Amino acid sequence: MAKTEVILTHNIVGLGGESDQVRVAAGYARNFLFPQGFAIPLTSSNKRRIEALKQRRAEREAHEFNTMSELAKGVSKLICVIKVKAGDDGKMFGSVTAGMIADELKHQFDITLDKRKIHLEHAIKTLGEREVELHLHAEVKSTLKVRVESLTPVTAPVVESAPAEAKTEKRGKRPERAEKTDDTAEKSKPVKEEKPAKAAKAPKAEKKAKAE
């Protein structure tokens, strides 16, 4: 595919900024960049415009820095609420993406922000509040509080407890069990036979006397 060198007259994400000299496909330059006024052919006469383009670029970048710095201060105080569908147990149907957050910023606060500036490592899949990192500019970062709520009330699990009377009865039965245990223990003990008193040996003494 044929390539051609151009001078960018506008900032184009992923390609470059004003005054940058880049190589692009000839068809891309001819059918898009040149008609839209985003670039001009790299010629000796057009090179004279580079200094003016650099000045315009510096002014644009300074303006963007100031704008994003102010936005960073304001957005850090906001809470972006996003309503989602969820079951009675609070489990979400689907997830919250950077695009959804960008849409809600526009809807709730009239803030236009490219979703690529909203840094999510993973899509949000649980209800609750969390802080999301924003990369507003190469030198400006901030955070946004995002609260994900269910469109329907979440029912808390009901924990059943035993009636107070049942507990009282149960406690009252414990002494009875102890009594039964004592009775059983007594029954299980072998009964000792009483030994005859020493006086019972008297007949033997009488027999000796008769023998004499």
* pLDDT score for 6: 95
Residue 22 parent element (H or E): strand 21-25
Task: Choose among 100, 87, 101: nearest CA to 150.
Answer: 87
Q: How many CB atoms lie within 10 A of CB 75?
A: 20
**What confidence score (pLDDT) does residue 69 get?**
95
Model pLDDT, residue 52: 93
Q: Is 145 exposed, middle or buried (0-12, 13-18, 19+ CB in 10 A)?
A: middle
Q: Tell me, what's the pLDDT at 211?
A: 45
Strand-pair category, 140-150 with 79-84: parallel
Both tokens of 83, joined, read 């309503």
Residue 9 and residue 21: Cα distance in Å, rounded?
Answer: 10
Domains by residue range for the chain, with CATH: 3-72 (3.40.5.10), 73-150 (3.10.430.100)
Q: What is the mean pLDDT of each run of 10 residues along the chain (212 residues)?
A: 91 92 94 95 91 94 95 95 88 92 95 94 91 94 95 64 52 50 49 51 47 44
The pLDDT of residue 155 is 62
Q: What is the pLDDT of residue 15?
A: 93
Angle subtended at Cα 134 by Cα 128 and Cα 137, rounded to the nearest 5 degrees: 175
List own/partner pairs for 188-193 with CB under 8 A and 24 or more apart.
Answer: none
pLDDT computed for residue 195 by the predictor: 53
In 76-163, where does DSSP find H-type helix? 98-109
